Chains A and B, each alone.
Chain A
Amino acid sequence: MKHKENELQALKEDVTQMWKLVLSQLEKAQQAFLYQDAKMAEEIVGREKRVDAFELKIDCDCENYIALYNPVAIDLRLVLSLIKISNTLERIGDFCEGIAYHVFDKDCPTLERKIVEELQIESLFDILVSMLADSFVALVSENTDTSEKILSKERDVDAIYRNAIDVLDNYLHQNPAAIRCGLKTVLFIRKLKRIGDHCANLVEEIVFYIDAKVLKHGNI
């Protein structure tokens, strides 16, 4: 393997490590929320700095690679994609941290089990974890056959999000005293929806890298 290929491989390996870390953050966020596990939430907050450090390193290494090796074709697409992928993973990491802080929130006591079930939060987490894990496999295996399937899950996320707003609307009409907690729950669910958007962005970047196709914005 040539020197420049080793450099590219190292870049890809950093993104792989970052991706595994963020996936683990999301899985822990799910556990922390569902079981109101404050210790696990603390762990998420503590590891957030590692996610940020990965983003800074990958940005710097990508800049250096472009400056030193003038990549073209698939190499250029890979480097451009990795910059965007690391930024997107960092945003997902931020949302996981936000979910962890929601677990600590004293203003918002534990939601009734029945409401959690109606909001379908567990399913939402499951979809997001599968989107993030499947897109990781697509990058590592350089195979975009699953891209359509992963992107279609974003529609499931949107449907659960819309349903959650209706559920909370009803719940808060009946329980106006819970308005503060209700608003915070909307913000929490909004974070999950945004993670879904970002997972879709990750798939779009992988398709750009491997197939040289632009999927974003419905390819206006």
Chain B
Amino acid sequence: MIETKNIDFYYGNFHALKNISMKMDANTVTAFIGPSGCGKSTFLRLFNRMNDLIDNTHLTGECLINEQNIYQKSVQVDELRKNVGMVFQKPNPFPKSIFENVAYGLRVNDIRKKTFIAQQVEESLKAAALWGEVKDKLKKSALELSGGQQQRLCIARALAISPSILLMDEPASALDPISTSKIEELIYSLKKTYTIIIVTHNMQQAARVSDKTGFFMLGELVEFNDTKTVFLNPKKVETQNYITGRFG
């Protein structure tokens, strides 16, 4: 279970997130939608403390994962990020072999047992629906894969260290429709095991893959509801104007 309580976030003096409270259940997919600059990616990055890497930022409120506030001083950020994996907009494989890309997180965490690593790589690639396409060329460079394959490789890399939460920041925006469809199918199957939060500009994608949808605007969470409700009968006029294209 993920919960935020009265989150406010600032880039310097800029008030980027305003008093955001929400709950997300385990093994669900939650989509964040909203216009550019509305704060949805900033909010996503709170859950693995990626915003810590940005200078001159400030957070108030609580961000709880399994009832623990991840911004407490006692929390080890490295441990947190093992539990909360992240996939970015552009596929970013390392200039290494396919195998080594997936094994990377394990090796960084001092796991040396070859049979375990091989097993984990295979399971992660299978979970990312990529195993069938790469099993015979694991030693080839990851950079030789197509964009869609690279993105699934990055998902496999995130899964290899056995997180329970997966953050996805526009994971299919740089992909063609076939690769996008594969990523969406993957999201659907992964939610059996993982809790997934996805930021997307593609509203039909949000409608297709998520159980709940949050609509952000100007740093506020305007509406957070079941995806079916948001896309058939949104409760707020701002949400309706945005999803029907009447915004702006």
Mark A residues whose CB is within 8 Å of B: 2, 4-5, 70-77, 212
Chain B 225-243 interface 0/1 with A at a Cβ cutoff of 8 Å (1 = within): 0000001111000011001
Determine the distance from Cα of A2 to Cα of B248 in the docked complex, in whole angstroms.
11
Contact B245 A74 (CB under 8 A): no
Q: Which of B203, B232, B243, B246 contacts A2 (CB 8 A)?
A: B246
Contact B204 A74 (CB under 8 A): no
A residues within 8 A CB of B244?
71-75
Determine the distance from Cα of A52 to Cα of B246 in the docked complex, in whole angstroms.
33
Other A-B pairs, 9, CB within 8 Å; known A5-B246, A73-B231, A73-B240: A70-B204, A71-B244, A72-B203, A72-B207, A72-B231, A73-B232, A73-B239, A73-B243, A212-B233
Determine the distance from Cα of A76 to Cα of B232 in the docked complex, in whole angstroms.
7
Determine the distance from Cα of A70 to Cα of B232 in the docked complex, in whole angstroms.
12
Contact B246 A72 (CB under 8 A): no
Main secondary structure of the interface of A (DSSP, over half): helix
Determine the distance from Cα of A20 to Cα of B86 in the docked complex, in whole angstroms.
57
9 nearest A-B pairs in the assembled complex, by CB-CB distance: A212-B233, A72-B231, A75-B244, A72-B243, A73-B240, A73-B234, A73-B244, A70-B204, A73-B243
B residues within 8 A CB of A2?
245-246
Determine the distance from Cα of A76 to Cα of B239 in the docked complex, in whole angstroms.
14
Q: Which of B198-235 contact A (CB under 8 A)?
A: 203-204, 207, 231-234
Determine the distance from Cα of A212 to Cα of B232 in the docked complex, in whole angstroms.
8
A residues within 8 A CB of B234?
73
Mark B residues whose CB is within 8 Å of A: 203-204, 207, 231-234, 239-240, 243-246
A residues within 8 A CB of B246?
2, 5
- Return A130 CB to nearest CB of chain B, in Å: 30
Closest to B244 in A: A75
Closest to B243 in A: A72
Closest to A213 in B: B233
Contact B232 A77 (CB under 8 A): yes
Closest to B229 in A: A212
Closest to A78 in B: B244
- Return A97 CB to nearest CB of chain B, in Å: 36
Closest to B207 in A: A72
- Return A209 CB to nearest CB of chain B, in Å: 11
Determine the distance from Cα of A61 to Cα of B124 in the docked complex, in whole angstroms.
46
B residues within 8 A CB of A72?
203, 207, 231-232, 243-244
Determine the distance from Cα of A2 to Cα of B203 in the docked complex, in whole angstroms.
19
Determine the distance from Cα of A146 to Cα of B207 in the docked complex, in whole angstroms.
34
Determine the distance from Cα of A212 to Cα of B228 in the docked complex, in whole angstroms.
12
- Return B11 CB to nearest CB of chain A, in Å: 32
- Return A136 CB to nearest CB of chain B, in Å: 24
Contact B233 A73 (CB under 8 A): yes
Determine the distance from Cα of A144 to Cα of B204 in the docked complex, in whole angstroms.
30
Determine the distance from Cα of A1 to Cα of B232 in the docked complex, in whole angstroms.
22
Determine the distance from Cα of A73 to Cα of B230 in the docked complex, in whole angstroms.
7
- Return B185 CB to nearest CB of chain A, in Å: 19
Determine the distance from Cα of A170 to Cα of B233 in the docked complex, in whole angstroms.
52
In the complex, 17 of the A-B residue pairs with CB atoms within 8 angstroms, ordered by the A residue number, are: A2-B245, A2-B246, A4-B245, A5-B246, A70-B204, A71-B244, A72-B203, A72-B207, A72-B231, A73-B232, A73-B234, A73-B240, A74-B240, A74-B244, A75-B244, A77-B233, A212-B232
